[in-house]
Amino acid sequence: MTAFTTKELEDALTAKLMVNFGKTAEEAGDAEMLRACALVLRDAMALRSVETRKETRREKKKKVHYLSLEFLMGRSLQKNAYNLGVLPQMKEALEHLGFQAGDIFELEPDAGLGNGGLGRLAACYLDSLSTLEIPAAGYSICYDLGIFKQKIVEGQQVELPDSWKGIGSAWLLPKPEEAQQIRFGGTLREFWDDGHLHIVQEGGTTVLAIPCDMEIAGYNTRHTNTLRLWDAKSPKPVDMSLYSKGEYFKATEDEAMAEVIAKVLYPEDNHIEGKSLRLKQQYFFVSATVQSIAEKHLAEFGTLVNFHEKNVLQINDTHPALVIPELMRILIDDAGMEWDQAWFITTHSVAYTNHTVLAEALEKWPQDLFQQILPRIWQITVEIARRWQETCENFFHDMEKVRDTAVIWDGVVRMANLCIAGGMSVNGVSALHSEILKKDVFKNACAMEPQKFTNVTNGIDHRRWLAEINPRLHSLVCDLTGGERYLMEPEALKQLDDYAADREVLIRLADIKRKNKEDFAAYAKKQQGVFLNPDAIFDVQVKRLHEYKRQLLNVLHIIALYQRLQDDPAAITQPHTFLFGAKAAPGYAVAKRIIHLINSLADQIDHDPICEDKLQVAFLENYRVSLAERLMPASEVSQQISTAGKEASGTGNMKFMMNGALTVGTLDGANVEMHDVLGDENMFLFGLRSDEAAAVRREGYVSQRLYNRDPVLHRVLDALKTGFRDGVNYEDLYQRLLFGDRGGPADEYLLLADFQAYCDAEKRMAQTYADPAKWNEMSLHNIARSGIFAADRAVRQYADNIWHVPHR
């Protein structure tokens, strides 16, 4: 199975350096060597990918197409070497050639083509799709700039552009001969020809979509899939007549217009901004994708009539929802089908995953914008909406429900309803979330077609998030569960439960955590100059900054602890370090204020001698995949404290659990299923349940009452008003919690309602930590029972229940 011996790798790397840079290994620097490594592995994967496609064609297999505006891939070198089974050889070859493997890996930029959970999920699923030998491809945009780099300057977030492509592009294989043309704007001309109405789009602009392929090797297989990233280019060459007249900017105008489409990833997470560029991005990548799939299908089968039997398009949230009208367009305008046949094929090809219930994240496009940018797609969408509404009217005979399920209403196109109408399946991403979709968010649509609605609980790539990033724990697992078996059968982790009373195993586990903490502390010192005390509890909350995720609740508790310490310097016996990592969307002012607050508090505590060796807060700059990879193995407490009912699933929670951290959390998202397997005794649950949270809101929640009733809470909130030693005050956040602002409700996410329960949970946690035997036993149970959260399990469920494709 090994792709290379050490010697073969050395030769291949030397040859690559020579051909690409005209340098020998002695002359080359780290960056050139990194590129050479990527190119050598890319060649090997490209070969396997060709074989995989050949076999798929030969056996006429059904293919899965995973469309997502985000793939948060992170780094690839170590991962690809690992999956190709050449990681030890690669390290050896590098050392032989005079390089430090660790330095080379560390030099690789993250491919940050995503915001958070939804994008990372897509990346984890690509790994499982290949490993499970499912013929599949991912599709997205080849953004020039991924998610911004975060710097903290005077406590505040500053965004810097992330140009990852310098070295990162070594993984990409451009295929200009497979370019597609994408049409925007213009007008429609209709005419009859041999008994058919033809519609052509005239005028407007055309943008070229150029595929740049990134190969995705599976583990323990030669099966290799492709992530196809579309780059945007103008089809028109630079206008030389303008150029020679000295009008340089005008001459390159078309080019600039086209290229802006693939320029930058939208950094909003769970909040939409109805910007025309975003709609163009969506149609650009959807149209290129559907055209290329249809083209290949036609070449293979000579017809599109059986398209749905050989293809399934899984769409990651509503962002690629335009596949529905776009596939209709191709079937009707290009293949000449009648509406009903086209609709049958479309509604048997597309499946939709929902990832959020937040109202502000549900995509809605103004009709005018839609119509102007996509005239033909608009026409088709109107017809889909008309027919769907007729079906709804006949089913409900109730105007309120017809309004609720409509695709177009009040001049607005609602993408979720389009996906429900045009998809064969709608799934949520945890048991609780899928129930909320059925009973609440999509209840009317669900009454009409209950068979469409289902659940697939999220999963993570356990080979990356355990084996690769936590080698010490990996060896322990191997020793106790029969070697590397768990890599292909994550459920084998369960065997660890048998060692819960084994003192030696528990000590080894504690030792691993300790070493990982020391490693992380050394890294933090080097990168950010912060000193982390490895004797302290590492209590971690890392995720996008959003009010519903309640980083602010975490902060309120820390302030309470700090104030207790003021009164009684002996109040804390166990040193406690709180770690935060979070990017805020650049336009999300409140989220940015919370980042500032965390840094103000960190600074205050840092300068107060009372806190020394007792209490610490650190904000980790620029949280991203590669930082998570270092942090997860070193974490002891995982903060998963969203307002119940709001976090669709969470996947960070799973990464922590798999690395032996204990969860302090609410019964939200996949925490519920973690609790199902762990029980009360192996996690620290607290707070309102999702139905209770809904009831509290219904019955008229008044946060001020809690403030007036609870002296601890009162004092904590007053500290926000005063601020800390840096002189910044947080009266705005105080106002928001107690009175609301800009017409919004006070304390929308019920922080005050859960405050006391949260403090109690943290107290239980700290008490348990004081009993290492108990703690390590719980930690072991967490690892043992994390197998169900492997992406392999999730992808098999998609394959069996939604895609109907075979797998390993």
Q: Which residues sit at the interface with ligand 26W, rule CB under 6 A?
A: 115-118, 121, 268-272, 317, 355-356, 361, 363, 429, 458, 647-651, 669
Q: Are 484 and 493 in contact (CB under 8 A)?
A: no
287 versus 651: smaller Cβ distance to ligand 26W: 651
118 versus 337: smaller Cβ distance to ligand 26W: 118
CB of 508 to ligand 26W, least distance (A): 32
Q: Are 551 and 539 in contact (CB under 8 A)?
A: no
CB of 218 to ligand 26W, least distance (A): 22
**Distance separating alpha carbons of residues 292 and 138, to the nearest angstrom:** 13
CA distances from 461 to 302, 540, 657 (A): 37, 21, 13
Q: Which residues contact 727 (CB under 8 A, 6 or more apart)?
A: none
CB of 79 to ligand 26W, least distance (A): 20
429 versus 496: smaller Cβ distance to ligand 26W: 429
264 versus 617: smaller Cβ distance to ligand 26W: 264
| Full strand arrangement of the beta sheet holding 615-619 | 615-619, 576-581, 537-542, 637-640, 662-665, 684-685
**Distance separating alpha carbons of residues 485 and 637, to the nearest angstrom:** 28
116 versus 138: smaller Cβ distance to ligand 26W: 116
**Distance separating alpha carbons of residues 542 and 581, to the nearest angstrom:** 5
Could you say which of 549, 550, 576, 614 is catalytic? 549
Sign of CA dihedral 461, 463, 469, 472: positive
79 is catalytic: no
Could you say which of 183, 228, 308, 355 is catalytic? 355
| Radius of gyration, alpha carbons of the chain | 27
Which single residue brings its beta carbon nearest to ligand 26W? 117
CB of 760 to ligand 26W, least distance (A): 25
DSSP 665: E
CB of 392 to ligand 26W, least distance (A): 25
544 is catalytic: yes
422 versus 459: smaller Cβ distance to ligand 26W: 459
- Give, for 735, the enclosing helix (H) or strand (E): helix 731-738
Letter for the amino acid at 390?
E
CB of 633 to ligand 26W, least distance (A): 21
291 versus 651: smaller Cβ distance to ligand 26W: 651
CB of 644 to ligand 26W, least distance (A): 13
**Distance separating alpha carbons of residues 775 and 103, to the nearest angstrom:** 35
401 is catalytic: no
**Distance separating alpha carbons of residues 294 and 321, to the nearest angstrom:** 17
CA distances from 559 to 286, 601, 705, 721 (A): 48, 8, 20, 13
> In 357-377, which positions are buried (b, 16+ CB within 10 angstroms) versus exposed (e)?
beeebbbbbebeebbbbbbbb
CB of 472 to ligand 26W, least distance (A): 27
274 three-class SS = coil
261 versus 565: smaller Cβ distance to ligand 26W: 261
CB of 51 to ligand 26W, least distance (A): 32
Nearest C-alpha neighbor of 684 from the set 784, 760, 596, 749: 760
616 versus 640: smaller Cβ distance to ligand 26W: 640
651 is catalytic: yes
Q: Are 79 and 326 in contact (CB under 8 A)?
A: no
Q: Which residues contact 188 (CB under 8 A, 6 or more apart)?
A: 199, 200, 201, 202, 375, 376, 379
114 versus 787: smaller Cβ distance to ligand 26W: 114
CA distances from 562 to 174, 568, 709, 717, 725 (A): 55, 10, 20, 13, 14
Q: Which residues pair with 201 in a beta bridge?
A: 188
Q: Which residue has the tokens 């055209």?
A: 291
Question: What is the widest separation between alpha-carbon atoms in the chain?
Answer: 90
443 is catalytic: no
Across 277-316, the runs of DSSP E, i.e. the strands, are 311-316
Q: Which residue has the tokens 């030890």?
A: 88
Q: What angle do CA 541, 547, 552 make, to 5 degrees?
A: 55
**Distance separating alpha carbons of residues 95 and 4, to the nearest angstrom:** 16
618 versus 693: smaller Cβ distance to ligand 26W: 693
**Distance separating alpha carbons of residues 71 and 63, to the nearest angstrom:** 19
DSSP 569: T
CB of 652 to ligand 26W, least distance (A): 8
Could you say which of 56, 381, 457, 651 is catalytic? 651
CB of 60 to ligand 26W, least distance (A): 32
Neighbours of 601 (CB within 10 A): 25
CA distances from 340 to 49, 640, 723 (A): 36, 47, 64
64 versus 118: smaller Cβ distance to ligand 26W: 118
7 is catalytic: no
CA distances from 79 to 84, 447, 463, 522 (A): 9, 44, 9, 23
DSSP 449: -
Could you say which of 223, 474, 513, 543 is catalytic? 543
CB of 324 to ligand 26W, least distance (A): 17
Could you say which of 310, 655, 781, 785 is catalytic? 655
Could you say which of 438, 544, 546, 793 is catalytic? 544
CB of 182 to ligand 26W, least distance (A): 20
Q: Are 347 and 331 in contact (CB under 8 A)?
A: no
561 versus 585: smaller Cβ distance to ligand 26W: 585
Residues identified as active-site: 355, 543-544, 549, 651, 655
